[in-house]
Structure formats: C-alpha cells, structure tokens
C-alpha cells in the first residue's frame, strides 16, 4: 500500500502487454495445473479454503490469490494511530508472511526485512485497471498475491458501505483506496461491476488458471449469517469465470469452479485431521500477528490464534479445524450407457462437457453440450442416471434459479432438456436447494432427491419408466432446534439438516428385483438421517433408530453382493473413511461404524463408491480425495468382505472436487473405472481391478 509508490509508467504497462509473463512463467497452459482463489478479505482464504491451498502449494501447483477489498475496516475498530490505509497494508504483510511460511520460505517477517526480501512486485498484463501484485521468490513454488484495494463493506466513505455488494447489484461506481499515498500517480482508481468482471477475467487469462475457488454465493438463512463481502466476491468470481468461458469457447480451455462455506462451518463436525488442523492454525497465526484489529479485540494463545474466551475467538478456533465445500460436484457425475460404456459429464459455466468410453476402454472427448435454455451458468453438481432401457439422463442445477434440469437421451440417441423446477419455487429459499441425486427404482423409473430450502429432503420421480415426472414431494423433518418445522421452511440460526445433497441407492438382492428398495440417507450435523421404501417402487418411511453418530462429510451408500448397504462417511476429527454396515438386506445397521480399509489417507469431502462383478462375485470399489489432495482408491478383498489397503492412484498430483467410481461392461465381465478432475482442468482415468495410476485424457501426464 502506501509505502510502495508506483510511477506513472505502471499505468501504461497495463496497456502494453509486451514483455510481461504470467506468474507461472509458462508452467500453466494446456495440460498444466494452475489454481486461483478470489476472495474479499485478507484472511478468507486462510480460514475457509485451507488446507486445500496448502496442498496445492505442496504439489507445486502455480497458485494465485486475488483479494478484492483492502480489508480496511472502520476507524473505530483500528488500533490507536493507525489509519485505514495503514491497516490494509498490515493485512497485506500478514498474508504475504502466511503464504511464504506455507511455501517453506524462511526469513519473511516484513517488520524486520520488508516485503522485498521474499517477494518481487510483478505487473500483470492486459488488465483494464492497475493492481498490486507480488510473486514469492521460491524456486519450484509459484505463489502470487494480487490486491485490488476496493473498499470493504464496513467502510462507509464509499457508497455508504457495502460497496462490493453494490457493484454486483447495480450500475454504480466506486473508487479503490489510495494505495500509493497523497499525490500518488495511480491510485485511487474507479470501478463498476463490469470493470471488476473484466479485471478478474483478465487475471484468469494472465495466470492461465484452470481452477478458480470462491466462497459461497448464498446467504442461507438456515445457517449463521455470512458476510456480504464474501457473497459478493463469490458472485464476482462466478461472473468472471462465465465471461472467461464465453471468450474462450475452445473445449480444451476449461476453468473449473469450487465454492467453500464460510462462518457456518463452525456448526458442523470437525473434519480436519490433527496434522492438517495444526498446519492451518500455524499459517493463520502468521497472518494474525500482523492484524491489529484482531490483536486489539482478542487475547492470543500460545499457538498464535485468538483466544476462544475473548471476542469472537471461539469462531477462529473452530474454523481452524474445519474446511467444507459449499457446492460439490458430487460423486455421480459418470454413468454407464446401454452398451456398457462409461460417460462422464462436467458442468462448467453454461456448458456441459461429455467424455465417452470407447471399445478399447479409453476415453474420447470432450463433446460440448449447450447447457439448459436459461440465463446464466450451471452449478457444479451433476448426477447421471439410467432408465430401464439403459438410456442416460443427466441432472444439473441452474445457478441463478437453482432449478433442477434433466438432459435426457431420446430413443434416437439425440438429447433434450426438461425443467424439473424447484421444490421451493416462488420463494426466497429456492436459492438454497442442493444439487440433485438420482437413483433408479426397481422398475427402472428414475427418482431425484435434493436438500430443499428448509433443510429437509424433497423428491420427484418418473410416473412411468422413461415417462413424465411427478410433482415435488417433501419429507418433514425435525430440525436441530428440537422443533417441528415444515420441510420447506428455512429457520435462521440452525444448520441445514442435510450437508449437501442426500444420497440414495437401490438396495437388495439384484437376483430378486421384486425385493429391491431405495435406501435414502442424508448428513445432519449430529447424525445420519435414514429413510427407506416400505416395498419396491413405493413410498418412504423414516428410520429414527439409525445409529447416532455425527458424519464429517456428506454420506455415500454402496451396495454389497448380498444386497446390504455400506454407508460411507468421514469420521470427525480424523477424516478417516468409515462405514455403517447393514447387518443384512432390508435389516438395521450395526451401531458402531468400522474403518473402510487400512492406510486410510484421511481427507475431506464425500466418498465415491461403486460395485462390479469381475466374474468372481460383486465387490465394492471406493475412492476419495486424500488429505494430500491426491486420489486414493480401495477394493473389497472378496464379495461382502472387508476392504484392503488404500492406494494412492493420483501420483501425488493435486486434484479438485470429488472422484467418481463407475463400472463398465465392455465384455462378459465388469471393470471399475475411477475418474477425477485435475488442477489442470483435465479428466483423469484409472480403469482396472488392480486400481492402476490415473492417466489424463488429452495429452501426457
């Protein structure tokens, strides 16, 4: 900020791209990973996107974080004698020290050495406005921090406050803070919402980012309230990625989005392992030592974190041991067609990409499908199902309306779109509906489930196989405040009864279709919700006797050879994969979960699972995104038997989102296929019962 004066030449540089390079210096591009975080404040990333940031740095992925606001707060909150511009400068110092520490670079305490000891100032090319940008001096690690210096919500000098939110919602303009002091050559500069979109789009191009991370774009009233800047920054990131896609329609240039929860993660079970939590805490402590407002309002514990007994210290402590996705791609984004081949579908903006397995077991594509005929992009979550005839149906969600859409295969092989609507249509809580889950009934009719806007579960089903759809039906549930509420009514101050989308499987003995029933599960903060069909193709009844154990992830159901269910989830405090096992088909579940396999590679997020028959019986294959950011997989040793040892099939690379397990049938037997998305934006595939290493589709590893 103020002590880094910028000459008039700096402004001219933005119009002259010659001689300026991306922060990854050629490491990104086609087939190369690159990740960008877009956040509002100089701690949002450290609190809510870590340890994913740490894992990307450890894997050597070029990484850029963009801070939209200066984070200057209000004069009343600041330490005596510190101006808002000076406080913003201190916050910059804090995040630079935190990132240097995460990259393993020592001696970067700026109070002693200044930023020049560890950072170079860089000048991004092609931007319509100047920014402050710094690249870490670290061989083998590409870390760049970018500051736009827009006013934060509390600064009423700009548009009366909440300037970032207003930029996104109207045609107003505002100015940045004065980043180079009185009579400076460049700052302040003016922004409109369109300017912000164009700056962020240009930064995505400059960094060649293939993954963009942002915070949740909804302030869900059944959670603790979010921050208006967090929501506005998430929406700005979405707009920039969508605009980038319109400017780069080439299927080979894909920018994947990831969204993270913020304050409300404190109400969910701890999901980081001890080592990950300690690393996240240490990184934030590096930042916190420079944040005068934090130090003014909180005592500090021995680990450098705000004392839980002072101010909002309890919140900081809870955020340090958690990281949760706000939107998930889920673990249903691939399925099998009538010919036994696997199709994978990925939603990126307004485009649906499809990869198709060929007769040799390789994959071709992607083929581009235009998204549903609505304004705006799709959310990340995709679910793939098959009707009785084997025709595929893909289910997605429109981001602006949160309506569920199906992209279905016609009898002639062509595709069409149909709008299944929203269980909260016409109400504000329509925006809080989850992505879909899909399952086939015993007679082949597809049935879709979502977490609705009130935190319950809603469903629609085909009235005949391949035919029309029913209306939405809602499950009434008991919310965590102990009171009954209508299933679609949001309740401020409680947490959604279901973390993300529910999961459902068709359980029972496959040799006896008349006995098969859908088993439905959802993750609540303190327990798993379970409901099941009372008979095949019928309605549902709840299971209040399901074991009470808090899952630290959405749950995922898998069906054994006998037809009984294993329900997989993350154990609180460790991230270990565990499962509740059904004692027999259509029976209850064992009261205590067991670990799934050994060498569990603890991590965060939902587990992927599928089952197939290699000629010696049906076995379950499970996959996960590991604590190191790679992909792990494990196989049952025998039908209905225990699992073996988890295997890292990602080769230590950095992957995003969640893997999926599908099972093809290209001959007389079935073969498991694990698919994942890399930080390079490419599809990676592992096919075989020996769980071989993942290989990328389209170019060398």
Residue 383's pLDDT is what? 98
Residue range 88-107: mean pLDDT, rounded:
96
pLDDT band (50, 70, 90) for residue 586:
confident
CB atoms within 10 A of CB 59: 19
Residue range 222-242: mean pLDDT, rounded:
92
Residue 538's pLDDT is what? 87
- Residue range 258-274, pLDDT digits in tens: 999 999 999 899 999 99
Residue range 609-620: mean pLDDT, rounded:
96
Domain boundary among 264, 279, 296: 264
In a domain, 249, yes or no: yes
- Residue range 637-682, pLDDT digits in tens: 999 999 999 999 999 999 999 999 999 999 999 999 999 999 999 9
Residue range 158-170: mean pLDDT, rounded:
95
Residue 437 has pLDDT above 50, yes or no: yes
| Residue 243 in tokens | 């605009």
Residue range 279-284: mean pLDDT, rounded:
96
The pairing of beta strand 63-69 with beta strand 35-39: parallel
In a domain, 455, yes or no: no
Residue 185's pLDDT is what? 65
- For helices 274-288 and 84-102, what crossing angle results, to 10°? 150
pLDDT band (50, 70, 90) for residue 244:
very high
- Residue range 515-570, pLDDT digits in tens: 899 999 999 888 898 999 988 888 898 888 899 889 999 999 999 999 999 999 99
Residue 487's pLDDT is what? 59
Q: What is the CATH number of the domain that holds 131?
A: 3.40.50
Q: Among 294-308, 440-454, 470-484, 512-526, which is the least confidently predicted range? A: 470-484
Residue 21's pLDDT is what? 44
In a domain, 287, yes or no: no
| C-alpha dist (Å) from residue 379 to 235, 236, 269, 373, 540 | 12, 15, 25, 14, 28
Contact 543, 527 (CB under 8 A): no
pLDDT band (50, 70, 90) for residue 252:
confident
- Residue range 373-409, pLDDT digits in tens: 987 889 999 999 998 788 999 999 999 999 999 999 9
Residue 25 has pLDDT above 50, yes or no: no
Kindly write down the DSSP assignment for every residue of 142-200, as one continuous string.
Answer: -EEEEEEEEPPTT-TTTTTS-HHHHHHHSS-EEE---TT-TT-SS-S-EEEHHHHHHHH
CB atoms within 10 A of CB 426: 6
Contact 560, 570 (CB under 8 A): no
Residue range 98-109: mean pLDDT, rounded:
95
In a domain, 80, yes or no: yes
pLDDT band (50, 70, 90) for residue 701:
low
Residue range 224-242: mean pLDDT, rounded:
94
Average pLDDT of the chain?
Answer: 89
Contact 129, 147 (CB under 8 A): no
Q: What residues make up the domain containing 97?
A: 8-264
CA distance 508 to 39: 46
Residue 206 has pLDDT above 80, yes or no: yes
Residue 699's pLDDT is what? 64
Kindly write down the DSSP assignment for every residue of 385-398, as one continuous string.
Answer: EE-TT--EEEEEEB
Domain boundary among 209, 229, 264: 264
Residue 360 has pLDDT above 60, yes or no: yes
Residue 6 has pLDDT above 90, yes or no: no
In a domain, 63, yes or no: yes
- Residue range 115-154, pLDDT digits in tens: 999 999 999 989 999 999 999 999 889 999 999 999 999 9
In a domain, 505, yes or no: no
Residue 499's pLDDT is what? 77
In a domain, 32, yes or no: yes
Percentage of the chain lying above the pLDDT 70 cut = 90
Residue 31's pLDDT is what? 65
Domain boundary among 264, 296, 315: 264
Buried b (16+ CB within 10 A) or exposed e, 186-221: bbbbebebebbbbbbbbbbbbbbbbbbbbbbbbbbb
Q: How many domains does the chain have?
A: 2
Q: Model pTM?
A: 0.93
- Residue pointed to by tokens 């107003």: 172
CA distance 584 to 310: 51
In a domain, 449, yes or no: no
């Amino acid at each position: 900020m103020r002590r880094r004066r910028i000459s008039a030449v700096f402004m001219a540089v933005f119009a002259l791209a010659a001689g300026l390079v991306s922060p990854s210096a050629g490491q990104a591009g086609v087939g190369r990973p690159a990740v960008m975080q877009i956040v509002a404040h100089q701690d949002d990333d450290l609190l809510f996107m870590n340890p994913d940031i740490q894992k990307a740095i450890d894997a050597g992925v070029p990484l850029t974080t963009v801070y939209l606001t200066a984070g200057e707060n209000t004069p009343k909150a600041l330490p005596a004698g510190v101006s808002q511009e000076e406080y913003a400068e201190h916050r910059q110092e804090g995040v630079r020290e935190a990132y240097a520490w995460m990259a393993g670079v020592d001696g970067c305490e700026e109070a002693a050495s200044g930023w020049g000891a560890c950072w170079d100032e860089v000048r991004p090319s092609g931007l319509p406005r100047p920014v402050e940008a710094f690249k870490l001096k670290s061989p083998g690690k590409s870390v760049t921090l970018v500051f736009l210096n827009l006013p934060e919500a509390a600064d009423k000098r700009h548009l009366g406050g909440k300037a970032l939110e207003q930029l996104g919602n109207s045609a107003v303009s505002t100015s940045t803070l004065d980043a180079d002091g009185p009579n400076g050559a460049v700052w302040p500069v003016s922004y409109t919402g369109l300017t912000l979109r164009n700056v962020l789009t240009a930064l995505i191009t400059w960094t060649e980012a293939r993954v963009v991370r942002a915070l949740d774009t909804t302030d869900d009233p059944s959670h603790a309230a979010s921050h208006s800047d967090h929501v506005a920054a998430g929406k700005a990131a979405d707009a920039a990625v969508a605009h980038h896609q319109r400017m780069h329609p080439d299927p080979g240039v894909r920018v994947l989005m990831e969204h993270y929860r913020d304050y409300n993660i404190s109400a969910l079970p701890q999901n980081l392992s001890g080592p990950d939590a300690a690393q996240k805490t240490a990184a934030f402590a590096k930042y916190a030592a420079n944040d005068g407002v934090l130090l003014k309002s909180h005592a500090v514990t021995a680990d450098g974190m705000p004392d839980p007994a002072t101010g909002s210290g309890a919140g900081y402590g809870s955020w340090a041991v958690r990281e949760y996705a706000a939107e998930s791609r889920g673990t249903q984004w691939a399925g099998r067609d009538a010919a036994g081949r696997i199709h994978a579908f990925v939603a990126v903006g307004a485009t649906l990409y499809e990869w198709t397995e060929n007769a040799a077991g390789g994959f071709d594509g992607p083929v581009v499908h235009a998204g549903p005929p609505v304004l705006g992009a799709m959310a990340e979550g995709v679910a793939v199902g098959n009707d009785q005839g084997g025709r595929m149906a893909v289910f997605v969600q429109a981001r602006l309306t949160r309506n569920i859409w199906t992209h279905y295969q016609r009898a002639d092989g062509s595709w069409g779109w149909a709008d299944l609507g929203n269980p909260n249509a016409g109400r504000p809580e329509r925006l809080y509906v989850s992505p879909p889950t899909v399952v086939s009934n015993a007679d082949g009719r597809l049935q879709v489930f979502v977490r609705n806007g009130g935190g319950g579960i809603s469903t629609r089903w085909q009235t005949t196989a391949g035919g029309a759809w029913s209306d939405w039906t809602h499950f009434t549930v008991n919310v965590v405040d102990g009171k009954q509420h209508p299933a679609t009514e949001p309740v401020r101050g409680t947490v959604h009864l279901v973390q993300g989308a529910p999961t459902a499987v068709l359980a029972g003995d496959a040799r006896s279709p008349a006995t098969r029933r859908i088993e439905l599960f959802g993750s609540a903060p303190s327990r798993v919700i379970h409901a099941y069909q009372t008979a095949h193709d019928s309605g549902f009844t709840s299971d209040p006797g399901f074991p009470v154990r808090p899952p630290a992830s959405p749950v995922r159901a898998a069906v054994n050879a006998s037809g009984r269910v294993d329900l997989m989830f993350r154990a609180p405090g460790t991230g270990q994969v565990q499962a509740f096992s059904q004692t027999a088909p259509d029976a209850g579940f064992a009261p205590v979960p067991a670990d799934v396999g050994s060498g569990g590679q603890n991590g965060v997020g939902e587990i992927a699972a599928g089952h197939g028959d290699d000629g010696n019986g049906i076995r379950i294959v499970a996959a996960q995104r590991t604590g190191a950011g790679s992909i792990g997989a494990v196989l049952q040793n025998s039908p209905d038997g225990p699992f073996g040892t988890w295997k890292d099939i990602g080769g230590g690379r950095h992957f995003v989102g969640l893997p999926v397990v599908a099972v093809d049938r290209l001959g007389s037997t079935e073969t498991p296929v694990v698919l994942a998305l890399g930080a390079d934006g490419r599809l990676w595939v592992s096919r075989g019962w020996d769980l071989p290493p993942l290989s990328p589709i389209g170019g060398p590893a």
